[in-house]
Amino acid sequence: MQHAELLLAIRDASARIADIVQRTPTVQSGALSRAAGAAVYLKLEHLQHTGSFKLRGASAKLTKLPRDASVVTASTGNHGLAVTYAAQALGMRPPRVFVPKSADAEKVERLRVAGAEVVVEGAECVDAEEAAAAAAVRASSVYVSPYNDLDVVAGQGTLGLELALDLPRIDRVYVAVGGGGLIAGVAAAVKAAHPSARVIGCLPANSAGMAASIRAGRIVVAPEEPTYSDATAGGVESGSVTFPLCQALVDEWSTVTEDEIAGAWHALFAAERWVVEGAAAVPVAALTKTPPQAGEHAVIVLCGRNISLTKLERLRAHAR
For 270-317, how does the pLDDT look when each residue is reduced to its tens digit (9 = 90+)?
999 999 999 999 999 999 999 999 999 999 999 999 998 888 999 989
Q: What is the pLDDT of residue 296?
A: 98
95 — pLDDT class (breaks 50, 70, 90):
very high
In degrees and rounded to multiples of 5, residue 26 shows phi and psi of: -120, 120
Q: Do residues 277 and 46 lie in contact, with contact meaning Cβ atoms separated by under 8 Å?
A: yes
Nearest-angstrom CA–CA distance, 210 and 150: 17
Residue type, 172: R
Which 8-state DSSP code applies to residue 47?
Answer: G
pLDDT band at 16 (very low <50, low <70, confident <90, very high): very high
Asked if the domains at 3-53+150-319 and 54-144 fall in one CATH topology, the answer is yes
Cα–Cα distance for residue pair 27/213, rounded to 1 Å:
33
More confident residue, 73 or 102: 73
Choose which CATH entry (3.40.50.80, 3.40.50.1100, 3.40.50.970, 1.10.1840.10) describes domain 3-53+150-319.
3.40.50.1100
**Residue 90 phi/psi, 5° resolution?**
-95, 0
Q: Any idea where the domains of the chain sit in the sequence? A: 3-53+150-319, 54-144
Q: What's the pTM? A: 0.96
pLDDT value, residue 105: 87
Q: Quick check: 123 pLDDT over 80?
A: yes
Residue 113, classified by CB atoms within 10 Å of its CB into exposed (0-12), middle (13-18) or buried (19+), is exposed
Query: pLDDT > 90: what percent of the chain?
Result: 87
pLDDT mean over 249-264: 98
Q: Give residue 126's pLDDT.
A: 80
User: What letter does residue 232 receive in the DSSP assignment?
Assistant: G
- Residue 236: other Cβ atoms inside 10 A: 26
- Measure the CA–CA gap between 286 and 96, rounded to whole angstroms: 35
- From the list 121, 130, 84, 85, the residue with the least C-alpha distance to 103 is 121
Alpha carbon distance 188, 210 (integer Å): 17
In contact, 258 and 104? CB cutoff 8 Å:
no
Please answer whether residues 249 and 1 qualify as being in contact, where contact means their C-beta atoms are separated by less than 8 angstroms: no
Average pLDDT over residues 65-70: 97
Q: Phi first, then psi: what are they for 263, rounded to 5°?
A: -65, -40
Backbone angles phi, psi at 300, to 5 degrees: -110, 125
CA distance 175 to 189: 13
pLDDT of 312 reads 92
The model's pLDDT over 30-62, given as tens digits with 9 standing for 90+, comes to 999 999 999 999 999 999 999 999 999 999 999
Instruction: Identify the CATH number of the domain defined by range 54-144.
Output: 3.40.50.1100
